[in-house]
Amino acid sequence: MSTLLMFCLCFLASPFHTLQADAAPDNQMIADYVYNLIRFTEWPAEYQSQILLCAVGKGAELHALEHQAGRKVKNMTLAYHHVSASWPEQCHVIYFAADVPGSVEDMIDEHGDGQVLTIGRVKDFVWKKGMIGLYQERSRIKFEVNLKTIHAHKLGLSAQVLDLARIVDE
């Protein structure tokens, strides 16, 4: 079976569901998207045992994200930490809930150095220096990717993820 076909089966058929028109996305579905995006990120070789997912905001999906802790990401284990507007240096992924207080752009400017993947449900996230933005279009959750920002932080996404994403160029 081709690599693209296997990816589509794993990424789309697993925990992803179609939403009813204008329905709010299921929190578990959002958490599953985040987990799969982390899984298909090309991480630096020095990340050996753990990927720390830090979450900012008060969104209801944060509880579902917390339950992703302990899952495997390649040969590493996913850990979870809820943070405020500032986060510890050891975070590898920062998830921004839709209700993040303050300016996402300012938070990323202040703390977003290094090889940290940023994923968010904030409106226009990829235009605010975020890397992967989740959004709802009709009855589906989709995502857009700012490749320039991802590459600037020396991270990568698998080609299969990029085939499914809307690519933006800021």
Q: What is the CATH number of the domain that holds 51?
A: 3.40.50.2300
Backbone angles phi, psi at 67, to 5 degrees: -75, -5
- pTM, rounded to two decimals: 0.84
pLDDT mean over 74-79: 94
Domain around 158? 3-168
Are 130 and 122 spatial neighbours (Cβ–Cβ below 8 Å)?
yes
Q: Give the residue with greater pLDDT, 170 vs 132.
A: 132
Domain count, the chain: 1
Are 30 and 15 spatial neighbours (Cβ–Cβ below 8 Å)?
no
Tokens of 127: 């235009």
pLDDT tens track for 39-50:
999 998 888 889
Which single residue is written with the structure tokens 């996913």? 78
**Angle (nearest 5°) at CA 136 between 144 and 160:** 40
Q: What is the mean pLDDT of the chain?
A: 84
According to DSSP, the β-strands at 156-157 and 41-42 are antiparallel
